[in-house]
Amino acid sequence: MTNFSERFSRRKFIVTAGASAVGSVLLKGCLGNPPEPTAAGGADAGGGGAVPVATSAVAVANEKRVEGIETTKVTLGYIPIVESAPLIIAQEKGFFAKYGMTEVTVAKQANWGSARDNVEIGSAGGGIDGGQWQMPMPYMISKGLITKNNTQIPMYVLAQLNTQGNGIAIAAKHQGKGLGLKLEQAAQDYIKGLAKAGTPFKAAYTFPKANQDLWIRYWLAANGINPDTDVSLLTVPAAQTVANMKTGTMDGFSTGDPWPLRIVKENIGFMSALTSEIWKGHPEEYLAIRGDWVDKHPKATEALLAGIIEAQQWCDKPENRAELVAIVSGKSFFDVSPAVLTPPYEGKYVMGDGKPDISDIKMGPLYWNDGVGNVSYPYKSHDLWFITESVRWGFLPAKTLADNKTVIDKVNREDIWKKAAQLAGVAAAEIPSSTSRGVEKFFDGKEFNPDKPEDYLKSLAIKKA
């Protein structure tokens, strides 16, 4: 157990770190798309080391401590963007403690590369046991595709943290060219013409082969633009992307709340589309933990998940959003002005470039009810979409698709989620009865039938596979 003086010095560390380390990652953190570490290292390099942490054991009402819990301690990494809210709220509102997880540490990660490096180390080595991930990172870590020496570190996907809450930003210099959700022929020709003129449209994401790369690729390809040949798509540290966008050398990037608001407000650019327009209720980010940790602590995992499920239900309620903003915007967490976070949490988006503003709470980040399925439940059909899309762009070999059931069953532990949901008192009617959310529909009319991923691939005009 952590004694008071240890806690006190840890708190003191947070305060000290707040002045330097937190400040230095603030801009990147706000972008929602922390950069991939460069090979040469430097400011954006990943790696373990000290990360700003926050621990607390809040006194709770209605305690439902899990009997025979193997541990009360776990370290979960998070990126300071709206996707991480359930982790922070579960800790700060006492939902982890309610189920007996009284020593949860939520540790802010400088970027996705750092999170990956820290989960390789594990909490015993000063890293993390798991936390927030873009899909399919838990699969890539499990298969050793993005780890040092290609070490396979089995991960379990345990819950989805949210749906929606992301978008595609375009530099201001491209205003008036019809770059919206759908591109007419003239807009397609405009983008392709830039490549012909030797100044290809440069678009960025901050971690390759995961959500943001996939969203921008989907949007481009659905609009007749080949992301591999008609534009220049690349990994760029987020801070650099924005700086380049301001100076006119970066044309677009895929980003998450609360950044879209700033892009428009600061006249850096405009929003071509929200991801909720591209795919309503689309899967966004996930909770995944090292398999060895979960196998060793099955009851603690259920307790942890029950806390997250309750936090998600809490986060989803419009009447809690003001308190949610007050908590996550705080110094220990996102460290941003609450004014920046309020609009996305109310579903208010100024799109710019003459497009009508959006004001619909169901178009922003959602945590429990999105009108399509259960947000928290990790549908295997969604993991399959991420795998299919990875095959589409040549990120994974085509044989992965033939093998998908074996691959997904190893990583996706929706069975644990269901037990945790019962523990959290989720009504039976709200617990999905199928591991598939069914046929998924996209803005361009395409459909993904999880029973026939090959048909989806065949239906797509632009692909690498």
Token readout for 368 is 């429990």
Candidate segments 160-168, 307-315, 403-411, 415-423, binder of Ca ion by CB under 5 A: 160-168
Smallest distance from Ca ion to CB 399, Å: 28
R_g over Cα of the chain: 21
Nearer Cβ to Ca ion (94/378): 378
Report yes or no: 273 and 39 within 8 Å, Cβ to Cβ: no
Nearer Cβ to Ca ion (166/342): 166
Candidate segments 250-258, 265-273, 347-355, 428-436, binder of Ca ion by CB under 5 A: 250-258
Candidate segments 163-171, 216-224, 419-427, 447-455, binder of Ca ion by CB under 5 A: 163-171
| Ramachandran category for residue 135: left, alpha or beta (phi over 0 → left; psi -120 to 50 → alpha) | beta
Smallest distance from Ca ion to CB 257, Å: 8
Q: Which residue has the tokens 């982890």?
A: 96
- Does residue 256 belong to the site contacting Ca ion (CB under 5 A)? yes
Smallest distance from Ca ion to CB 254, Å: 9
Smallest distance from Ca ion to CB 21, Å: 23
Smallest distance from Ca ion to CB 237, Å: 16
Alpha helices in 393-452 (DSSP H): 399-402, 404-411, 414-423
DSSP string, 100-124: T-TEEEEEE-SSHHHHHHHHHH-GG
Nearer Cβ to Ca ion (256/352): 256
- Does residue 344 belong to the site contacting Ca ion (CB under 5 A)? no
Candidate segments 72-80, 237-245, 255-263, 356-364, binder of Ca ion by CB under 5 A: 255-263
Cis upstream peptide for 260 (omega within 30°): no
Candidate segments 8-16, 94-102, 165-173, 417-425, binder of Ca ion by CB under 5 A: 165-173
Candidate segments 60-68, 88-96, 161-169, 415-423, binder of Ca ion by CB under 5 A: 161-169
Smallest distance from Ca ion to CB 66, Å: 31
CA-to-CA distance for 344 and 287, rounded, in angstroms? 22
132 three-state secondary structure: strand
Smallest distance from Ca ion to CB 255, Å: 8
Report yes or no: 206 and 112 within 8 Å, Cβ to Cβ: yes
Nearer Cβ to Ca ion (283/373): 283
Report yes or no: 424 and 374 within 8 Å, Cβ to Cβ: no
Report yes or no: 364 and 432 within 8 Å, Cβ to Cβ: no
Report the residue closest to Ca ion, judged by CB.
256
Smallest distance from Ca ion to CB 395, Å: 17
Nearer Cβ to Ca ion (158/300): 158
> Parallel, antiparallel, or unpaired: how do β-strands 130-134 and 73-78 relate?
parallel
Nearer Cβ to Ca ion (269/283): 283
Phi, psi of 366 (to 5 degrees): -125, 150
Candidate segments 249-257, 317-325, 334-342, 453-461, binder of Ca ion by CB under 5 A: 249-257
427 three-state secondary structure: coil
Query: Any idea what the Cα angle at residue 305 is, between residues 144 and 64, rounded to 5°?
Result: 150
Nearer Cβ to Ca ion (224/256): 256
Strand partners of residue 73: 103
Smallest distance from Ca ion to CB 33, Å: 7
CA-to-CA distance for 349 and 357, rounded, in angstroms? 6
Please count the residues of this chain forming the interface with Ca ion, following the rule CB under 5 A: 2
Candidate segments 19-27, 143-151, 252-260, 299-307, binder of Ca ion by CB under 5 A: 252-260
Strand partners of residue 75: 105
**Interaction residues for Ca ion, span 128-157 (CB under 5 A):** none
Nearer Cβ to Ca ion (17/168): 168
CA-to-CA distance for 275 and 344, rounded, in angstroms? 13
Smallest distance from Ca ion to CB 348, Å: 19
CA-to-CA distance for 404 and 424, rounded, in angstroms? 31
- Does residue 283 belong to the site contacting Ca ion (CB under 5 A)? no
Strand partners of residue 286: 133, 160
Smallest distance from Ca ion to CB 215, Å: 8
Chain contacts with Ca ion (rule: CB under 5 A): 166, 256
